[in-house]
Amino acid sequence: MTRLSVNINKIATIRNARGANMPDVVKAALDCERFGAEGITVHPRPDERHIRYQDVRDIRPLLSTEFNMEGNPIESFVQLVLENHPDQVTLVPDAVDAITSNAGWNTLANKEFLTETCALFKSHGIRTSIFVDPDPQMVYGAAACGCDRVELYTEGYAREYKIDPRKAVAPYLAAAQAAQDAGLGLNAGHDLSLENLEFFIRTIPWTDEVSIGHAIICDALYMGLEKTIQAYLEKIKIF
């Protein structure tokens, strides 16, 4: 059954806009758990424009659900992961100045680096996931790097869904089948929403986890955080 991990980066973005502690990111993470989220995702970047490294240290010991840390495995991120020992680390190839993640890894060109990074995290008992585009070749390449899961970058699906849902999901289904064939777990994330989430899960019901942040926070402005999380859970708990 697919699990919902709430990415709380946008909550930190709102806090950082004023420089104080409102909203309280730690409380928000705990509230997400209390409202039914089955995981919390953070994506700390070097400039700390949303989640700060200290947020990770503050949140980690208080969580009772799965903790997922996303990021480009530069030295500072690697050390933060090893210090806080999340349940899962998701390797994302975002540039330092990227507004948001906008591509998956080329797992063939970066095989040596990804293999070393996966081995390091797995030696500490941390499940590793590699962020990839919906390309079976990249999925098989990720498997060769020794990861446990792949996360499919779903921005393309979300963009094309309004035009033709079946066409939009087709490459993701092929990539998901490749993950299944390679013995990898399957995550998905980026621009998934109440509009497009259920169709994705119905088409790829072996999706282990979806990580959603921006859409949840946008919907929460109108629905409230608790009702929003419940609405997303209803979209994925369909089997």
Active site residues: 43, 70, 190
- Per-residue three-class SS string for 146-181: CCCEEEEECHHHHHHHCCCHHHHHHHHHHHHHHHHH
Q: Closest by alpha carbon to 113, among 151, 69, 74?
A: 74
CB 197 within 8 A of CB 235: yes
CA dist 69 and 43 (Å) reads: 6
What is the Cα 85 distance to its own chain's centre? 16
Looking up tokens 């990720």 gives 142
